[in-house]
Amino acid sequence: MSVPLLTVSPDFPNDHIAGWFVFNTWLQKRLGQRVHLELYPDFQSQREAIGRGEIDLIYCNPFDAAALVREHGFQAVAAPLATPDEAVVAVAAASAVQCVEDLQPGTRVAMTADPDVNMVGKIMLEPADLDVANTVPVPCASYVLVAKRLMRGEADVGFFLKDAFEALSPVIRKELRPLVISEISVIRHVFLVGPRCREMAEPLLQALLSMNVPDSADHRVLEGLALRGWEATQAEDTEFMIDLMDTLLD
């Protein structure tokens, strides 16, 4: 078998890039085999690589996990401990908007290409009777740029992954104000293994679980990823999450 290719959903802060390379080095040593880490600059280029069948291992957002499991035959192995994918709808601190219902048609919405965050964010705008037809999207390459759009008055409201919002610098967070934070709790990133690497599923799971030991060298690798640990994921857990997202999208 050729060297497996590992990638990560491109929705993590830039200061985690080095952490993922450290993780990949650790993973190769733990598994006793080479693994190539490829970080894509955006969702589109990553999905094109998936479409070409280049990806073998992926830590991905729940939206893409649905397609990978159902259309590409990937298997969920693990999920991060106590790290659900919650979304934040925020405005500039000085905004006159005090609640979602204050938003009006024509609202400019700053958002990244993170599909699950955008899905949840749009659901949280529904109390204002806002949808794709009566809002103006303001595409941004990162959550920092979403924040800057709000701070500069170039957008009225912004969608953030909760973890990304909390990872913003205190100076930036001071200039923003959350309107609403989701509490879905069961939508989260997952670590998937592709069909070419089925035999890696169990060794990979055991390697990830070994990181849960407090104060161990393995656990310290997680610090660069802002993760607390891992737990095994059963097929039915993943199917439930996918079904829930299908329901939310309807």
- Indicate whether 97 and 176 sit together in one domain: yes
pLDDT for position 1: 57
pLDDT for position 235: 83
pTM as predicted? 0.80
pLDDT for position 242: 81
The domain tally of the chain equals 2
Q: Which of 144, 162, 181 is the last residue of a domain?
A: 181
From the number of C-beta atoms within 10 Å of its C-beta (0-12, 13-18, 19+), residue 170 rates as exposed
- Indicate whether 95 and 174 sit together in one domain: yes
Q: Which of 136, 166, 181 is the last residue of a domain?
A: 181
Q: What is the CATH number of the domain that holds 47?
A: 3.40.190.10
- Indicate whether 236 and 167 sit together in one domain: no
Domain that holds residue 148: 87-181
- Indicate whether 163 and 49 sit together in one domain: no
- Indicate whether 132 and 120 sit together in one domain: yes
pLDDT for position 115: 83
Each residue's pLDDT tens digit in the chain (250 positions)?
589 999 999 888 778 899 999 999 999 999 999 999 999 988 889 999 999 999 999 999 888 888 899 899 999 999 998 788 899 999 999 999 999 999 999 999 999 988 889 989 999 999 999 998 999 999 998 899 999 999 999 999 999 999 889 889 999 999 999 999 998 877 889 999 999 999 999 999 999 999 998 888 888 899 889 888 999 998 888 888 888 877 766 6
